Amino acid sequence: MSNTIIIVGGVAGGASAAAKARRTDENANITIFEKGPYVSFANCGLPYYVGDTIQDRDDLLLQTPERFWKRFRVQVHVLHEVIRINRTTKCVEVKNVLSQAISTHPYDKLILAPGAGAIVPNIPGIHAKNIFTVKTVPDSDAIRSFLLEHSLQRAIVIGGGFIGLETAEALHSRGLKVTIVEKAPQILPPFDPDMARLIAGHVIEKGIDVIVGDGISGFRQQGELAQEIELESGRRIPMDLAILSIGVRPELRLAQEAGLVIGTSGGIQVNERQQTSDPDIYAAGDAVETIHLVTGTRTRIPLAGPANKQGRVAGANAAGSHLQFHGALGTAIVECMGITAAKTGLTEREAALHGLKHFVSLTHPLDHAGYYPGAEALHMKLVVEEKTGRLLGAQIVGEQGVDKRIDILATALHGKMKVQDLEELDLAYAPQFNSAKSPVIMAGFVAANTLRGEVHTITSDELQKKLESNSSLQLLDVRTHEEYQEAHVPHAHLLPLDELRDHLNDLDPTQETVVYCRVGLRGYLAARILLQHGFSHVSNLTGGFLSYIPHN
């Protein structure tokens, strides 16, 4: 007797589950019910469709019901919403979205891939005709139609996360004056503030306005259209179009009403086989919990990569296999206005929240050999466990080469590597691709030097606190005279590295000393000189002056 598998939802998790279930069991009866009009589409590509980088909407449609049947013999019913699960009779009730007719379908195994819906706050004016979300193909169709039908000048993007930044760039490319409004104190809230400010500075320089630390309280309408956005601060900004990119909320109603366990992070609880608390029901995608591979804690990571892998495991096991999904790192990347930001594992802030004793290491290497034309700086931050040197996380910002480096570091994290292991990596080198000392290897060198005690490092924030509380701090700028004149840390004494040995007698070796240069290398060399000449307490500013953030 053939196995009947019903899948609730398509896109990444559901479509992957269906395809893997078929590859596992050629005789299973597999059906997908998708409440939207498309079973599988590239939702990560939607901002680029809005911006006309992707011009043909069919390029976004990864699978159609017809192709699913032809290749996989999977029955797909779009515009059909599963409204109830009866675990006792092992049936689902399905509503035809168009006719409202209700039908009942039995299952042997059920896979839930309901995804997550865009958060739409209940505030005045939210239903104006020129306010949109970017979550589905119809959402993007509506935005493109509005852009074509109206003469627009000013757009507001509410939310400065990944989709918000991509949408802001898309609208800017279409000639609109764009303002990003983010309630958090920074854009890209998943990043540490020092890395997010690099993105913000670049985006502002390229012509997009950024407002942080201010939420929205409502929209002021004239007729069907909103004319102004009003912020919680009382500030009003005129607008012709607004995009909501506040975040997503997991679709949990079906699971909750069926009595499935919802985890502490707010997602459907599953085991490593993607089984829910009911062994005949599996779940995958944005609505489920997963294990964070660094902390071992349960969390939600609503990203396409984990959703596809979870769907694959759920589909295989529903069809009789024994695959496992052990967790994710939250590796993510975004580009806006020519600058790229990527992260994997824990940020400095997250490491602190989890009680992990750690230090950070900042480097600013070029993405390829400096003597080869076109080299650009990468801004790299490693979060490292004290004593062990275990890599906990990484963030990178730069104009090119970010993707390659974050993937190397994500692989290192997955393998539970230490920064000492990064020193020994054997990575491809040719001048147009890399440096002989690759940026990842260089980051490993710097972090491992700190771990071994060759140099003590200090962060910008720690330096600020010392300057505020310690008037006797010996602060040395070891850059050139020209660099110092251009800008320097307040109260710093200029002593260029190449002149340092000649002026050791002018310094107090018993005094606490902090050295810094532009990116950290000359500071490291200065610290080593001082330590070997009897200076007892020397620290190097990690990342150098490029990482210095003065307190307001």
91 is catalytic: no
Q: Is residue 122 a part of any domain in this protein?
A: no
Q: Both 426 and 466 in a single domain?
A: no
Q: Which two three-digit tokens encode residue 403?
A: 């993707």
Q: Is residue 444 a part of any domain in this protein?
A: yes
Task: Identify which of 326, 450, 327 has the alpha carbon closest to the alpha carbon of residue 385.
Answer: 450
Strand 391-398, strand 339-345: pairing: antiparallel
CA–CA distance, 213 with 234 (Å, rounded to integer)? 13
Q: Both 106 and 253 in a single domain?
A: yes
pLDDT digits (tens, 9 = 90+) for 209-258: 999 999 999 999 999 999 999 999 999 999 999 999 998 999 999 999 99
Q: Both 271 and 356 in a single domain?
A: no
Q: Both 241 and 266 in a single domain?
A: no
Q: Both 88 and 176 in a single domain?
A: no
Q: Is residue 326 a part of any domain in this protein?
A: no
Which among 424, 451, 478 is the end of a domain? 451
**Backbone region of residue 109 per phi and psi (left: phi > 0; alpha: psi in -120 to 50; beta: other values):** beta
What is the predicted pLDDT for the residue at 263?
A: 96
Q: Both 510 and 534 in a single domain?
A: yes
Which among 187, 220, 246 is the end of a domain? 246
What is the predicted pLDDT for the residue at 80?
A: 96
Q: Both 286 and 356 in a single domain?
A: no
CB atoms within 10 A of CB 394: 29
Q: What is the tally of structural domains in the chain? A: 4
Write the secondary structure of 112-139 as one string of H (helix), E (strand) and C (coil).
ECCCEEECCCCCCCCCCCCEEECCCHHH
Which among 404, 428, 451 is the end of a domain? 451
Cβ atoms of 185 and 194 within 8 Å: the answer is no
Q: Both 520 and 508 in a single domain?
A: yes
pLDDT digits (tens, 9 = 90+) for 112-132: 999 998 899 999 999 999 999
Cβ atoms of 320 and 327 within 8 Å: the answer is no
Going by the DSSP 8-state scheme, the letter that residue 20 receives in this structure is H
Q: Is residue 186 a part of any domain in this protein?
A: yes
Q: What is the CATH number of the domain that holds 224?
A: 3.50.50.60
Of 44, 91, 336, 517, the catalytic one is 44
Q: Is residue 200 a part of any domain in this protein?
A: yes
pLDDT means over runs of 10, the chain (552 residues): 91 93 97 92 86 86 88 95 97 97 98 93 94 92 93 96 95 96 97 96 97 96 94 96 94 97 97 98 97 97 94 98 97 97 98 97 96 96 97 98 98 98 97 96 97 95 89 93 96 96 96 96 97 95 93 66
Q: Which two three-digit tokens encode residue 79?
A: 């515009």
For residue 89, give the 3-state DSSP assignment. coil
Q: Is residue 93 a part of any domain in this protein?
A: yes
Domain hosting residue 24, numbered range: 4-114+249-318
CA–CA distance, 505 with 499 (Å, rounded to integer)? 12
CA distances from 244 to 223, 413, 455 (A): 20, 33, 47
Q: Both 60 and 105 in a single domain?
A: yes
Cβ atoms of 237 and 229 within 8 Å: the answer is yes
Task: Identify which of 62, 40, 198, 218 has the alpha carbon closest to the alpha carbon of residue 127.
Answer: 218
Alpha helices by DSSP H, listed for 153-303, are: 162-173, 193-205, 253-257
CB atoms within 10 A of CB 218: 16
Q: Is residue 496 a part of any domain in this protein?
A: yes
Q: Is residue 332 a part of any domain in this protein?
A: no
Q: Both 368 and 308 in a single domain?
A: no
Q: Both 474 and 414 in a single domain?
A: no
Q: Both 435 and 345 in a single domain?
A: yes
- Residue 456 pairs with which residues in a beta bridge? 539
